[in-house]
Amino acid sequence: MASVRQILSRTFFWAYERGTWQYDVAVILILMFVLLTPRVWFHDGPQVGVTGTPELVQFIPSAAAKDPGVYQIDARAVAPPEQTTLLENQLHNVLQKSVAELASGRFTITKITPMRDAQGAVVAYRVEIRN
């Protein structure tokens, strides 16, 4: 007869062969855990960002034809920036997914200007690009 320590060790290290009743019990326990565990135990939150929402991106035409393209992107389209590089990558992705002419991704962001409301909160970003 196997001791409790041996049983726990073999179960933890998955030492039972397929087709044995111990293997089947372990698989059933794993499936029960995966399927019956409440989501709140893992603090799941909503995904941040957008999958390509053209309503959040506006093109701002410039007077001179040689000026870079300027887009205004609603701040809800990107996560709050922790770093400028992260913000630039997120804005690049939003433009690429939301603007058909930029779908190739062959453009660079030259300037990012945050647009603020009366309370000082960022509501959008004005983004200048160069092809």
User: What's the whole-number mean pLDDT along residues 25-48?
Assistant: 81
- Please state, in angstroms and rounded to a whole number, the distance separating the CA atoms of residues 30 and 45: 23
User: For 65, how many CA atoms within 13 A lie in the half-sphere containing its CB?
Assistant: 0
Better pLDDT: 31 or 119: 31
Global pTM value: 0.45
At residue 53, the pLDDT reads 62
Q: Mind listing the pLDDT tens digit for each residue in 37-64?
A: 987 787 666 555 445 566 777 887 776 6
Residue type, 28: I
* Contact call for residues 120 and 114 (beta carbons, < 8 A): no
At residue 47, the pLDDT reads 54
Beta-carbon count within 10 A of 86 CB:
13
Tokens read off for 47: 């995904």
Sheet strands side by side (includes 122-130):
57-60, 69-74, 122-130, 108-116
Maximal C-alpha separation, the chain: 87
Show Cβ contacts of residue 101 under 8 Å, excluding neighbours closer than 6 positions.
none
Beta-carbon count within 10 A of 88 CB:
17
pLDDT at 80 over 70: no
At residue 92, the pLDDT reads 86
pLDDT at 28 over 90: yes
Report the percent of the chain where pLDDT is more than 90. 8
At residue 54, the pLDDT reads 67
At residue 130, the pLDDT reads 83
Show Cβ contacts of residue 50 under 8 Å, excluding neighbours closer than 6 positions.
56, 76, 77, 94, 97, 98
User: What's the whole-number mean pLDDT along residues 106-131?
Assistant: 85
